[in-house]
Every structure is written in structure tokens, then in C-alpha cells.
């Protein structure tokens, strides 16, 4: 097993998941339920399934397309999201 890749993947996913809407949903659900263990199990299962699908789709994409193209498309996509986040919203009141 590639321990370096394992640790980098863990840190990247852990940091990206902190404070996101799925964590806030888990906080809300566990605070209003009588079984926080069930909320934990459901949240873990959902994150595992979402991560599994991401890995399967990533592997399939890597087998079909050249790595350089995949990285270029990802970079352009992240760049577009960054520009969109910085662009002033015209639909928001002043």
C-alpha cells in the first residue's frame, strides 16, 4: 500500500469536509435525534459511498482519457468556479 498517497488522500478529504453542508446536516440531525450513533453510521456510510463513486469514476476516466487532459479539464473547472465566486452577484440586493 502507498502510505504517502493514503495520508495525502485522508488529509485532503478530511480538510475539505470540515464545515461543509453534510457536516452541518449531521450536527442538526444528531442534535434533534435520540440516536446519535445512527446518525454517525448514516453519515459514515454516505461519505464512504460518495468517496467510492468518486474513486470509481476517477479510475474509469483515467483509463479512457489521457492524464494531461483530465488535469487540464479539472484546472479549467476549478478556475471557472473561482472566477464565478469572485464575480459580483447582480441578483443580490445592495
Window from 15-19, 29-33, 58-62, 65-69 with minimum mean pLDDT: 15-19
* The pLDDT of residue 75: 95
The angle subtended at Cα 16 by Cα 12 and Cα 50, nearest 5°, is 90
The pTM (predicted TM-score) of the whole model is 0.65
pLDDT at residue number 21: 87
Give the burial string for 17-49 (b: 16+ CB within 10 Å, else e): eeeeeeeeebeebbeeeeeeeebeeebeeeeee
Q: If you compute the radius of gyration of the chain from its CA atoms, what whole number of angstroms results?
A: 18
DSSP readout, 10-41? HHHHHHHHTTSHHHHHHHHHHHH-S-HHHHHH
Amino acid at each position: 500500500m502507498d502510505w504517502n498517497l493514503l495520508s495525502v488522500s485522508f488529509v485532503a478529504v478530511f480538510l475539505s469536509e470540515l464545515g461543509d453542508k453534510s457536516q452541518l446536516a449531521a450536527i442538526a440531525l444528531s442534535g434533534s435525534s435520540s440516536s446519535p450513533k445512527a446518525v454517525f453510521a448514516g453519515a459514515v456510510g454516505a461519505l464512504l459511498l460518495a468517496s467510492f463513486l468518486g474513486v470509481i469514476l476517477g479510475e474509469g476516466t483515467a483509463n479512457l482519457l489521457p492524464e494531461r487532459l483530465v488535469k487540464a479539464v479539472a484546472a479549467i473547472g476549478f478556475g471557472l468556479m473561482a472566477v464565478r465566486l469572485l464575480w459580483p452577484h447582480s441578483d443580490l440586493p445592495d
